[in-house]
A and B are shown apart, each in its own frame.
Chain A
Amino acid sequence: MTIVTRPLHPVFGAEMTGLDITKPLTKAEVATIEAGMDEYAVLAFPDQPLTDDQQMDFSANFGELEITLAGQMAKPEDRRFQTLELGDISNFAGNSNKLRERDDRRRMYALANRLWHSDASFRAVGAGYTLLHARIVPSVGGNTEFADMRAAYDALDDATKAELEDLVCEHSIVFSREQIGFADYNQGHDDKLRPVQHKLVITHPVSGRKSLYLSSHIGGIVGWPVPEARAFLRDLTEHATQRQFVYSHPWRVGDMVMWDNRTVMHRATRFRDLEEVRDLRRTSIKGTGLEVHVASAMAAE
Chain B
Amino acid sequence: MTMSIRPYQTGFAGEVAGINLTQALTPAQVAAIDAGMDQYGVLVFHDQRFDDETQLAFSRNFGELEVSSGAEMSRPEQRRLKMEMADISNLDTNNNLRAASDRMRLTALGNRLWHSDASFRAIPAKYSLLSARVVPGSGGNTEFADMRAAYDALDAAAKAEIEDLITEHSNAYSREQIGFTRVDYGAENQDKLRPVRHRLVRYNPATGRKSLYLSAHIGTIVGWPVPEARAFIRDLMEHATQPRFVHVHVWRPWDLVIWDNRTTMHRARRYNDLTEVRDLRRSTIRGDGPTAEQAQHAA
Contact = CB atoms under 8 A, between A and B. Distances in A.
Interface of A: 102-103, 107-108, 111-112, 114-115, 177, 179-182, 219-220, 225-232, 234-235, 269-270
B227 A225 contact: no
Contacts of A220: 179
B109 interface: yes
A234 B234 contact: no
A112 B227 CA distance: 8
Interface of B: 100-101, 106-107, 109-110, 112-113, 175, 177-180, 219-220, 225-232, 234-235, 269-270
Contacts of B178: 226-227, 230-231, 234
26 contacts: A107-B228, A108-B227, A108-B228, A111-B228, A112-B231, A114-B231, A177-B227, A179-B230, A181-B219, A181-B220, A181-B229, A225-B101, A226-B106, A226-B178, A227-B106, A227-B110, A227-B175, A227-B179, A227-B180, A228-B100, A229-B179, A230-B179, A231-B113, A231-B270, A234-B112, A234-B113
Contacts of A103: 225
B231 A232 contact: no
B109 A231 contact: yes
B contact face: mostly helix, strand, loop, or mixed: helix
B197 to A, nearest CB: 17
B209 to A, nearest CB: 26
Nearest to B235: A270
A107 B232 CA distance: 14
A246 to B, nearest CB: 11
A72 B234 CA distance: 29
A107 B224 CA distance: 13
B177 A228 contact: no
A145 B106 CA distance: 32
B106 A111 contact: no
A202 B266 CA distance: 33
Nearest to A268: B231
Contact of B232 (A226, A232, A270): A270
B226 A180 contact: yes
A234 B267 CA distance: 13
Report the 4 A-B pairs with minimum CB-CB distance, sorted nearest first: A226-B179, A181-B226, A180-B227, A227-B178
Given A108-B225, A234-B178, A235-B269, 7 more contacts: A111-B227, A180-B227, A181-B227, A182-B226, A227-B178, A234-B113, A270-B232
A177 B229 CA distance: 13
A105 to B, nearest CB: 9
Contact of B227 (A182, A219, A227, A269): A182
A219 B179 CA distance: 8
